[in-house]
């Protein structure tokens, strides 16, 4: 499958910069983690805004004509409503997993990185496969990679800033094993999608990387 590498490369840049600050905070061993996280979150969100503006302009320029089915305001409202509903569903899903986690002695890391991740990204994964099968590789890649970038370059930084108003402050400090996993994931995604071509071998490589991550999480 061939696709334009420009958008995947831009998305990979988002992931790499988000990983960059997480690695720096981790190497700093907690010193000034809060201050660095606040400044880093602001920088990542500014970068995300620039990426989003460029992405929307490119999508607009690529349209073949015809009026959109809904207005921008309606689309934003629908997206906000769907996002809010998804947040509640995710919370209910995680809460319902607690008895199973205790019964099967599953680590919380495995539940979050494997079970919740697969269930939460099921829609994006299915849509990506369907779009690829229909001969729309650019859109397929965009759906899958943009889903990842929303977490690393938007949701995580937003939560860091929002947490300033709560009793528990969130920072970019993570355990070393997850810093390595995140950095490795960003590099692998950049390497595989940067040439504008997807092969069976690369798909197997991605699956192998996920299996390794799931195995590590299972023993945490």
The structure tokens listed for 124 are: 């994006």
Please state, in angstroms and rounded to a whole number, the distance separating the CA atoms of residues 190 and 56. 21
**Phi/psi of residue 197, each to 5°?**
-145, 135
Helix and strand numbers (H, E) in the chain are 10, 0
Residue whose tokens read 């607009």 = 60
Q: How many domains does the chain have?
A: 1
At 165, list the tokens: 């108003």
Which pLDDT belongs to residue 46? 92
Q: Is residue 1 part of a domain?
A: no
- In order along its 220 residues, the chain shows pLDDT tens digits of 888 877 778 888 888 888 888 888 877 767 788 888 899 899 999 988 888 888 777 766 665 556 667 777 887 788 778 877 877 887 788 788 888 888 888 888 888 888 888 887 888 888 888 988 898 888 888 788 777 777 888 888 998 999 999 988 888 888 888 888 888 888 888 888 888 888 899 989 989 999 998 998 888 7
Domain of residue 101, residue span: 6-218
pTM for this model (two decimals): 0.78
Alpha-carbon gap, residue 108 to 97, rounded angstroms = 10
Output the DSSP codes for 87-155.
Answer: HHHHHHHHHHHHHHHHHHT--HHHIIIIIIHHHHTHHHHHHHHHHHHTT-HHHHHHHHHHHHHHIIIII
Count the helix, strand and coil residues of the chain and give each as a percent rounded to the nearest 5: 80, 0, 20
**What whole-number distance in Å separates Cα of residue 52 and Cα of residue 62?**
15
pLDDT at 109: 83
Distance CA 136, CA 141 (A): 9
Residue 168 lies in a domain: yes
Q: What are phi and psi of 127, to 5 degrees?
A: -60, -40
């Amino acid at each position: 499958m061939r696709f334009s590498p420009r958008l995947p490369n831009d998305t990979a840049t988002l992931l790499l910069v988000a990983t960059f600050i997480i690695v720096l905070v981790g190497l700093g061993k907690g010193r000034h983690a809060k201050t660095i996280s606040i400044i880093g979150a602001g920088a990542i969100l500014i970068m995300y805004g620039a990426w989003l503006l460029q992405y929307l302009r490119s999508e607009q320029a690529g349209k073949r004509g015809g009026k959109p089915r809904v207005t921008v305001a309606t689309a934003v409202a629908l997206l906000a409503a769907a996002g809010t509903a998804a947040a509640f569903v995710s919370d209910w899903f995680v809460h319902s997993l607690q008895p199973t986690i205790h019964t099967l002695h599953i680590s919380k890391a495995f539940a979050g990185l494997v079970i919740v991740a697969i269930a939460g990204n099921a829609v994006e994964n299915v849509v990506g496969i369907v779009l690829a099968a229909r001969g729309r590789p650019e859109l397929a890649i965009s759906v899958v990679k943009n889903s990842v970038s929303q977490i690393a370059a938007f949701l995580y930084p937003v939560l860091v800033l929002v947490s300033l108003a709560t009793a528990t402050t969130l920072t970019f400090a993570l355990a070393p094993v997850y810093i390595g996993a995140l950095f490795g994931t960003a590099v692998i995604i950049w390497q595989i999608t940067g040439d504008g071509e997807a092969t069976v071998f690369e798909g197997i490589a991605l699956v192998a990387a996920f299996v390794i991550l799931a195995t590590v999480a299972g023993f945490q």
